[in-house]
């Protein structure tokens, strides 16, 4: 096997972001803050306006965390044409809407116009690269690099290849994200929903069941986490947290003591049916909870909170 002639992870200078919604725009802001030149493409007519709003909204947080040398929002170029956006790039991050047909087609289009040795990473939050890469002429350089909202503040990126992805592409991508300041989990095989989303999804489904059954309001669910277990999870994660629930006996004692209650009917086990009534109850609950705080207010509040937590834990 000949080694691809791609740039070393630390030599990447230009990053192309395909898709400029909440996630794509977050990536744009992040890469700009890390000092990269960023070329963005999005088919929406008002894409550039929305993207510059997103980047502008994220910039104070990124400035507070510290910009890389030479970092500037002036390093952003928005192209109208996908081929122009991908020509001469060192790395592509795709963040299109979560639609399998769309992503398969788009990845093949990106693949056709991107220099052959350049890695193409997808922000997909659930699809496996195996099911997305099959229309690509060079599927070996496609890989999942799954971020968390907002990508400019949450460190985690889950990296996993498909059956056609070359192992050295997975390794390169992990090294690139780490060099760019991310916290990377490399998965050795595809799991639907990866890791964090499966955990998050389990919690989310349970929350929907509780709202649907009238057992808890949206506000109670949020308060139960912000003032409860949510305060422990950023410190140690769920497993090590429970390691401390067993006293000096640790996880062993915890499992021996609470293990039997695993069988208790504490969780609703099916996916909740998203009826119009449930949808409305969840939407109205969020709007009630948000009160007169706009989305921008809430984003600013979240960003301040996440930065404060990262700082507080010595991880900023």
- Alpha carbon distances (Å) from 239 to 234, 242, 252: 12, 5, 12
CB 129 within 8 A of CB 190: yes
Please identify which residue in 43, 56, 70, 238 interacts with its own copies, judged by CB under 8 A: 238
Interface with its own copies includes 130 (CB under 8 A)?
no
Maximum CA pair distance of the chain? 61
Q: How far is CA 148 from the centre of its chain?
A: 2
Please identify which residue in 68, 112, 212, 255 interacts with its own copies, judged by CB under 8 A: 255
- C-beta closer to its own copies: residue 21 or 115: 21
Q: How far is CA 59 from the centre of its chain?
A: 18
Interface with its own copies includes 210 (CB under 8 A)?
yes
Interface with its own copies includes 171 (CB under 8 A)?
no
User: What is the footprint of its own copies within residues 24-83 (CB under 8 A)?
Assistant: none
Interface with its own copies includes 101 (CB under 8 A)?
no
- C-beta closer to its own copies: residue 8 or 100: 100
Of the candidates 130, 95, 128, 127, the residue with the CA atom closest to the CA atom of residue 110 = 95
- C-beta closer to its own copies: residue 87 or 300: 300
- C-beta closer to its own copies: residue 84 or 217: 217
Write each residue from 297 to 316 as x if it is in contact with its own copies (CB under 8 A), else as -, in one continuous string: -xx-xx--xx-xxxxxx---
- C-beta closer to its own copies: residue 66 or 137: 66
Stretch that binds its own copies, among 35-43, 66-74, 107-115, 148-156 (CB under 8 A): 148-156
Least distance between its own copies and beta carbon 57 (Å): 11
Alpha helices in the chain (DSSP H): 22-33, 47-65, 82-86, 100-113, 129-132, 167-179, 196-212, 218-226, 233-243, 250-258, 276-290, 295-312
Q: Give the DSSP letter string of 115-133.
A: -TTSEEEE--SS--HHHHS
- C-beta closer to its own copies: residue 132 or 282: 282
CA distance 99 to 44: 16
Write each residue from 271 to 290 as x if it is in contact with its own copies (CB under 8 A), else as -, in one continuous string: xx-x----x--xx-xxx-xx
């Amino acid at each position: 096997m000949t080694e691809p002639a791609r740039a070393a992870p630390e030599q990447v200078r230009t990053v192309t972001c395909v898709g400029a919604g909440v996630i794509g725009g977050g990536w744009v802001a992040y890469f700009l803050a890390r000092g990269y030149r960023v070329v963005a493409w999005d088919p929406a007519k008002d894409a550039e306006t929305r993207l510059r709003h997103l980047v502008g909204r994220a910039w104070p947080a990124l400035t507070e965390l510290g910009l890389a040398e030479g970092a500037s929002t002036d390093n952003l170029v928005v192209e109208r044409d996908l081929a122009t956006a991908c020509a001469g790039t060192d790395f592509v991050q795709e963040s299109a809407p979560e639609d399998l047909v769309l992503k398969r087609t788009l990845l093949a289009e990106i693949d056709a116009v991107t220099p052959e040795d350049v890695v193409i990473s997808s922000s997909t939050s659930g699809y496996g690269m195996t099911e997305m890469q099959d229309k690509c002429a060079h599927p070996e350089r496609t890989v999942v690099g799954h971020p968390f909202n907002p990508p400019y503040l949450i460190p985690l990126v889950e990296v996993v290849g498909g059956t056609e992805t070359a192992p050295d592409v997975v390794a390169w991508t992990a090294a690139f994200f780490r060099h760019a300041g991310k916290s990377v989990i490399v998965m050795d095989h595809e799991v639907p929903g990866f890791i964090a989303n499966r955990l998050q999804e389990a919690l989310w489904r349970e929350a929907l069941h509780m709202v649907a059954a009238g057992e808890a309001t949206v506000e109670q669910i949020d308060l139960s986490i912000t003032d409860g277990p949510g305060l422990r999870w950023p410190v140690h994660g769920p497993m090590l947290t429970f390691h401390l629930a067993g006293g000096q006996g640790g996880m062993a004692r915890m499992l021996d003591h609470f293990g039997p209650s695993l069988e208790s009917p504490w969780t609703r086990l099916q996916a909740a049916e998203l009826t119009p009534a449930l949808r409305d109850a969840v939407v109205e609950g969020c709007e009630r909870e948000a009160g007169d705080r706009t989305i921008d207010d809430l984003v600013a509040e979240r960003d301040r909170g996440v930065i404060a937590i990262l700082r507080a834990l010595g991880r900023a």
